[in-house]
Amino acid sequence: MNHMTYPRYIITGGPGAGKTTLLNELQKMGFLTVPEEGRRIIKEQILINGEGLPWKNKMLFARLMFEASVKAYQEIIETAGLQPVFFDRGIWDTIGYLRLENIPVPEEMEIKAREIKYHDHVFILPPWKQIYENDPERKQSFREAVSTFDRMKEIYQENGCHLIEVPEGPVEKRAEFILSCLRTGASE
């Protein structure tokens, strides 16, 4: 992950911090984005009455997320070239999730995560109580969202990433903050 020439940027944090809204804004501005796999998997598993849900089978849910994240990464790098790409969570988020849930991380996940190359500056959104909402895919309490944020911060720092905290504010200002970091080299 510590290879700076990859213009593949992770936007991470706890649930309900505004990541997806921010990614949608960056996409509207013409940037390539990769959506979060977790929410898609939850919707899919609910639809088919599957077991791969965080409230049914956390390990299966993590495996589905991990596999989908690797596939999405591989698909986007085939077409993106050197264009910047913004990811709604990265591969390490799944490992952070497993640690948060006190589930042993399979060695093959750790190995694969180290093979995937992102920029080593990671944008992290802190918990933001005023915008936090539960929905059918997001059942965590705000306290759990804070714990998730802490775990994501920890996992990325452990793996040599420099975290850039995106301040609270209107989505346009958050997007501009990220782009300003890219322009000024704060993410270099």
Contact predicate 20/35, CB 8 Å: yes
Which helix (DSSP H) or strand (DSSP E) does residue 34 occupy?
A: strand 32-34
> 167: which 2 tokens?
């301040």
Report how far apart, in Å, the C-alpha atoms of 23 and of each of 17, 47, 61, 108, 110 are. 12, 25, 23, 29, 26
Share of the chain above pLDDT 70, in %: 89
**For the residues 15-38, what does the mean pLDDT come to?**
92
**pLDDT tens per residue across span 53-70:** 988 999 999 999 999 999
Right CATH for 8-184 from 1.20.1440.230, 3.40.50.300, 3.50.50.60, 2.40.50.140:
3.40.50.300
pLDDT, the chain, mean? 88
Q: Encode pLDDT of 151-180 as tens digits.
A: 999 999 999 999 999 999 999 999 999 999
Q: How confident is the model at residue 4 (pLDDT cuts 50, 70, 90)?
A: very low
Q: Which among 52-56, 118-122, 140-144, 172-176 has the top mean pLDDT?
A: 172-176
Domain ranges in the chain are: 8-184
- What would the pLDDT profile of 92-108 be if each residue is shown by its tens digit? 999 999 999 999 999 99
Tokens representing 54 are 């965080």
